[in-house]
A and B are shown apart, each in its own frame.
Chain A
């Protein structure tokens, strides 16, 4: 109401038909006797007609529905894709378990192989260390001018045989053929005194 005299707030509702009793009867009685409100009511009726005229024929293009359908289909395909992964989690879990198992088995195999090879006397042996079968090995570097013939002769005289080499630094691994008591010192002395031997490492 405007100043408690005119039902200004109710007139739009009277014009749009949403005014209910008991206000409806009260406002109708009022405008019957109030020129101002009658005019206002006529004005609001015109606004109602104008609004209806303005928006009545407006509606969305048919493409809007097509776009909506396409959007829903895209969404559905994406959801099905996501749901497919969720619905069948065993698939990737099994794959992950198989991969883990493969890693464990591979590790075990490598471990066994490493253990076997590291316990093998041919794989690695410190300089001069006695072999697993009672062998004694020297590491020897010969002079550059030592011929193969002279080296063979020295090995025969000292009771040695090739166990490996030469390595990247020209080191030969030589094994005592028969490790009798006291042979190690004798062989070592023979090697050290030879003029074709540059360096001897061993017991």
Chain B
């Protein structure tokens, strides 16, 4: 059975093949960039993360890849840690996300029920993709990041958890809260655009 071409690239990179790094970069840089952008929200910071990730791959991470997960999952995991480094440097470590989740966790059963009833209007509003995009943008960044992985990368919970180095339950909770937030946002902005 032929070896996965991405793993072949990694092996060549670990041997110091710069052309292999370029091909690997061409294949994955956009995904790394988008993932970083989904959390950091600033293009320059996302570009820095891309640089850091591929430099780390070049310097030795490629040689340490053990094949326990898909190459993309492994690479996005490295990206996640680089994003956290970036956030720490920006002193945003605990910004928005966790606080946002705490706030959502405190929503009462009645409120949750009313949010559930929002779905019909939200579905109607969600047909306007610009509005959906705007509501995703307004999410706290850790939720936006999970939305990116679930709905752009189309990853299952297990892989998202592996990338974010957290339990699957945390991923489910974040997606659940993100759904409610998006619905609420679509309803709040539900008036037709001029």
Chain A interface residues toward B at CB < 8 A: 8-9, 12-13, 15-19, 36, 39-40, 42-44, 46-56, 58-61, 63-65, 67-69, 71-72, 75
Contacts and interface: CB of A to CB of B under 8 A. Distances in A.
B29 A64 contact: yes
Given A13-B156, A65-B25, A43 B59 contact: no
Interface stretch (B73-81, B94-102, B125-133): B125-133
A55 B136 CA distance: 11
A40 B150 contact: no
B54 A58 contact: no
- Shortest 9 CB-CB contacts between residues of A and residues of B: A50-B132, A46-B126, A51-B151, A16-B154, A59-B30, A18-B156, A54-B133, A60-B33, A51-B152
A47 B47 contact: no
Given A9-B172, A55-B38, A64-B47, A47 B132 contact: yes
Nearest to A48: B151
Interface residue tally of chain B, by bracket?
35 or more
Contacts of A58: 30, 33-34, 37
B10 interface: no
Contacts of A19: 156
Given A36-B119, A39-B123, A65-B29, A53 B133 contact: yes
Nearest to B112: A2
Nearest to B122: A43
Nearest to A15: B151
Given A50-B129, A51-B148, A65-B25, A43 B55 contact: no
Nearest to A60: B33
Nearest to B48: A64
